Chain A
Amino acid sequence: MSQVSILGNREQGQDVRSANIMAVQSLSNIVKSSLGPQGLDKMLVDDIGDVTITNDGATILKQLEVQHPAAKVLVELSQIQDREVGDGTTSVVILAAELLKRANELVKNKIHPTSIMSGYRLALRESVKFIQQQLSLSTEQIGTEALINAAKTSMSSKLLGAESDFYADIVVNAMQRVKQVNSLGEVKCPIKAVHILKTHGKSSKESTLVDGYAIEAGRSAQGMPTVVEDAKIACIDFNLNKFRLQMGVQVLVQDPENLEKIRQREMDVTRERVNKIIDAGANVILCSKGIDDFALKYFVERSCIAIRRVKKADLRRIANCTGAKIVVSLADFEGDEKFEPSFLGLATKVYEKRVGDWDYTFIEGMKETRAQTIILRGANDYFLDEIERSIHDSLCVIKRVLESNLLVAGGGAVEVALSIYLDDFARTLGSREQLAIAEFSEALLVIPKTLALNAAKDATDLIAKMRVFHNAAQKADDEQKKELKHSGLDLINGKIRNNLKAGVLEPAMSKIKSLKFATEAAITILRIDDMIRLAPKEEEAPRRV
Chain B
Amino acid sequence: MEGGAKALAFQQRDIGGKMDSEKTKDIRSTNIIAARAVSDVVRTSLGPRGMDKMIQDSKGHVLITNDGATILKQMEVIHPTARMLVEISKAQDIEAGDGTTSVVVIAGALLRACQDLIEKGIHPSSISEGFAVALNKAVEIIESMGQPVDLNNRQQLIENAITSLSSKVVSQHSDLLAPMAVDAVLRIIDKENDTNVDLRDINVSKKLGGTVDDSELIDGLVFVDKKVSHFAGGPSKITNAKIGLIQFCLSAPKTDMENNVVVHDYTAMDRILKEERKYILDLVKKVCQTGCNVILIQKSILRDAVNELALHFLAKKNVMVIKDIDRDQIDFISKTLLATPVAHIDHFTADKLGTAGLVEEVNAGGERKIVKITGCPNQGKTVSILLRGSNQLVLDEAERSLHDALCVVRALVKKRSLVPGGAAVEMEVAQKLQAHSREIYGSDSYCVRLYGEALELIPYTLAENAGMDPINFVTELRNRHIAGERYAGLNVKKNTILNMLEENVVQPSLVSISALTLATECVRMILKIDDIVLSR
Contacts and interface: CB of A to CB of B under 8 A. Distances in A.
Interface of A: 1-8, 10, 16, 20, 69-70, 72-73, 76, 80, 83-84, 111-115, 238, 243, 245-246, 248-254, 258, 261-262, 264-266, 269, 325-326, 328-329, 331, 333, 335, 432, 524, 527-537, 541-542, 544
5 contacts: A2-B37, A73-B62, A76-B393, A331-B281, A527-B51
Interface in B62-97: 62, 64, 66, 71, 74-79, 82
Contact of B58 (A238, A531, A535): A535
Interface in B209-252: 231-233, 252
Contacts of B273: 269
A529 B52 contact: yes
Contacts of B76: 6-8, 534
A113 B66 CA distance: 15
Nearest to A249: B261
Interface residues of B, number: 70
Main secondary structure of the interface of B (DSSP, over half): mixed
A534 B54 contact: no
Contacts of B276: 246
B62 A248 contact: no
Given A252-B263, A329-B309, A331-B312, A536 B54 contact: no
Given A248-B259, A250-B261, A542-B2, A113 B51 contact: yes
A80 B391 contact: yes
A222 B231 CA distance: 31
Contact of B64 (A112, A329, A524): A524
Nearest to B35: A4
A258 B82 contact: no
Given A3-B37, A248-B261, A530 B252 contact: no
A541 to B, nearest CB: 6
Nearest to B467: A112
Q: A interface, by DSSP: helix, strand, loop or mixed?
A: mixed
A264 B54 contact: no
A491 to B, nearest CB: 32
B120 interface: no
Of listed B34, B52, B311, residue having the most chain A CB within 10 A: B52
Given A249-B263, A527-B169, A531-B56, A114 B467 contact: yes
B40 interface: yes
B266 A528 contact: no
Given A83-B366, A262-B269, A542-B2, A528 B54 contact: yes
A48 B33 CA distance: 50
B312 A527 contact: no
B36 interface: yes
4 nearest A-B residue pairs (beta carbon) = A112-B467, A4-B37, A529-B51, A265-B266
B390 interface: yes
Question: Max chain B CB contacts within 10 Å: which of A112, A331, A531?
Answer: A331
Nearest to B284: A333
Contact of A534 (B56, B278, B308): B56
Given A72-B62, A328-B311, A328-B312, A4 B77 contact: yes
Contacts of B465: 114
B484 interface: no
Interface in B454-470: 465-467
Interface in B154-193: 169
Interface string B102-119: 000000000000000000
Contact of A528 (B2, B52, B312): B52
A438 B324 CA distance: 55
A3 B260 CA distance: 68
A24 B418 CA distance: 44
